[in-house]
Amino acid sequence: MLKTRIIPCLDVIKNKVVKGVNFKNIRVMGNAVEMAKYYSLSGADELCMLDINASYQNRKTFIKTVESIAKVINIPLTVGGGVSDLSDITDLLNAGADKVSINSAAVKNPKLIRQASLRHGSQCIVVAIDGKRHKNKMKVVIKGGREITKNELITWAKQVQSLGAGEILMTSMDTDGVQNGFDSNMLKKVTSNVGIPVIASGGVGSLEHFYLGYLTKSTGLLAASVFHSRKYKIKTVKKYLSSKGVPVRL
Amino acid sequence: MKKKVIGLIDGQSGNIGSINKAIKDIIKGKPYQLKIIKSHFNYTSFDKIILPGQGAYATLMSNLKKLKIFEPLKKYLENNSSYLGICVGMQILSDWGYEDKSTRGLGIISGDIKKFRNKKLIIPHMGWNTINLNKDDTIITNSFDKKDFYFVHSYIFQNIRKSDVLAFTLYGQKFPSIIKKGNIYGVQFHPEKSHNHGLNLIKNYILKS
């Protein structure tokens, strides 16, 4: 049986994992390579890392960090943040990423999804979608939620699938960072409208939240703070889910 | 003592970094050497060949032809020499692939590559799933039975002889996750991404056969 994936997410600046609410009060949580190694050894099913400050100067160090991480882990690695064109995708895959996540660039230029999946295969193209409620509608937002696009969330999710995305990384900006649980309602809408895997992201604060995330039919559950702060170990989450009857890799 | 030569084929079908590193770690200090195959090669000078693949069947087949790897690889396999095909590297052992368009494969293990039948399944089959051994094997020993490995694929090996299936996995249906004919092995999952069990499998393949 296919297992529900538990995916720690590293928000990275250069080679440090950071935590910051809306890019303010950024706090260093640790060294990215060390943390990646720790998660791989402690039972993470996959690892996600995002360049959250993809400036020209920081990018070179970030790519080096991706290379170093790819060398020390033997689970799949998804890398995103600051991906704007095909050459960025190629650079990250060459650095050792197994999958590359595209966000705003896909919204601005949807053709990029098709070009990328034709060149590298759908299996390594993840489209990250940030969703937010606006005037009673679920919309796609970019720039960390600061800019609401004209795209309706479900229409966009279906479109990225038809353009060849292999997976959707779905973050609700309405629940992200507040640790009150995943946005079940938004996630269910997405999973019931697409046929590709969906990773739930944004809002985990307790063990039960992971279970509620599983119930949305998301096949991957992503979390950052609860793992980085050592509130929960990966094993703790998996044992809990297993006790609730969720298939996990123990 | 003469070192055994392991060939790792770079068919420009996804990145070979992880598998390359895994092999290097395994053979460190042992009488083996690793050579990357990127073009025509002398198939008699290799003791083992590993071909990892991602993406489309047709793309890998056309890359192998373009890089002039196809002919020597086919001869190597027809001699029943030791081979490990990973994901699409396993699939191309079949007669035909039906991904995007019909493509003739290497024709080493009879069968076709077709999409999962169940239309309601989430595709690709992505994540960790269990392998169930049909029989014990010198490389795929009983210790691997019921262990989880990392899969990413939308197509599966079908119409295969039962005797060529070493292990199967369930995802909407039963499908072959490890196949074997003579000295030729194929795994549908990615052992290089499958943590300890995956590394042990590669280790067994290199050291035990």
Residues 55-114 of B with CB under 8 A from A: 55-56, 59
CB contact under 8 A, B124 and A123: yes
CB contact under 8 A, B126 and A197: yes
Give the distance from residue A2's alpha carbon to the nearest chain B alpha carbon, in angstroms: 5
pLDDT tens, residue order, chain A (250 aa): 999 999 999 999 999 999 865 556 788 999 999 999 999 999 999 999 999 988 888 899 999 999 999 999 999 999 999 999 999 999 999 999 999 999 999 999 999 999 999 888 899 999 999 999 999 999 999 988 889 999 999 999 999 999 999 999 999 999 988 899 999 999 999 999 999 999 999 999 999 999 999 999 999 999 999 999 999 999 999 999 999 999 999 9
Q: What is the pTM of this model?
A: 0.96
Q: What's the confidence (pLDDT) of residue B94? A: 98
Give the distance from residue A205's alpha carbon to the nearest chain B alpha carbon, in angstroms: 24
Split at pLDDT 50, 70, 90, the class of B158 is very high
- Strand, helix or coil at B23? helix
Please report which residue ranges of A44-183 form alpha helices under DSSP H. Answer: 56-72, 86-95, 104-108, 111-120, 153-162
Domains of chain B: which residue ranges? 4-208
Q: What's the confidence (pLDDT) of residue B56? A: 86
User: What's the burial of A247, exposed, middle or buried (CB within 10 Å: 0-12/13-18/19+)?
Assistant: middle
Assign 3-state DSSP to chain A and report helix, strand, coil percentages, each to 5: 40, 30, 35
Q: What's the confidence (pLDDT) of residue A57? A: 83
B123 contacts on A by Cβ (under 8 Å) = 195-196
Give the distance from residue B127's alpha carbon to the nearest chain A alpha carbon, in angstroms: 7
CB contact under 8 A, A3 and B128: yes
When the pLDDT of each residue in chain B is averaged and rounded to a whole number, the result is: 95
- Residue A109 burial (CB count, 10 A): 13
Q: Which of A241, A250, A227, A240 is nearest to A9 (CA)?
A: A227
HSE-up (13 A, CA, CB side) for residue B60: 30
Q: Would residue A222 count as lying in a domain?
A: yes
ipTM of the complex: 0.95
Contacts of A116 (CB under 8 A, 6+ apart): A86, A89, A100, A102, A125, A164
Q: What's the confidence (pLDDT) of residue B58? A: 92
Full residue range of the structural domain in which residue A220 is found: 5-243
Q: Would residue A84 count as lying in a domain?
A: yes
Mutate to test the interface with B, among A48, A190, A249, A250 (most CBs of B within 10 A): A249
B192 reaches A (C-beta below 8 A)? yes
Contacts of B85 (CB under 8 A, 6+ apart): B50, B51, B53, B91, B92, B93, B184, B185, B186, B187
When CB atoms are compared, the residue of A1, A74, A195 closest to B122 is A195
Q: Would residue A250 count as lying in a domain?
A: no
DSSP label at residue A47 = E
- B4-208: CATH class: alpha beta
Cα A152 to Cα A68: distance, rounded to the nearest angstrom: 38
The first and second tokens of residue A111, run together, are 């053709």
Q: Would residue A135 count as lying in a domain?
A: yes
Q: Would residue A248 count as lying in a domain?
A: no
B118 reaches A (C-beta below 8 A)? no
CB contact under 8 A, B199 and A122: no
CB contact under 8 A, A98 and B55: no
CB contact under 8 A, A93 and B199: no
Q: What's the confidence (pLDDT) of residue A120? A: 87
When CB atoms are compared, the residue of B55, B123, B194 closest to A120 is B55
Q: What's the confidence (pLDDT) of residue A22? A: 56
Q: Would residue A212 count as lying in a domain?
A: yes
B92-121: average pLDDT: 94
Residues 158-187 of B with CB under 8 A from A: 170-171
Cα B7 to Cα B4: distance, rounded to the nearest angstrom: 10
User: What's the burial of A46, exposed, middle or buried (CB within 10 Å: 0-12/13-18/19+)?
Assistant: buried
- For residues B46 and B76, is the Cβ–Cβ distance under 8 A? yes
Cα B74 to Cα A55: distance, rounded to the nearest angstrom: 48
Cα A208 to Cα A124: distance, rounded to the nearest angstrom: 30
pLDDT of residue B204 exceeding 80, the answer is: yes
Give the number of domains in chain A. 1
CATH number at A16 reads: 3.20.20.70
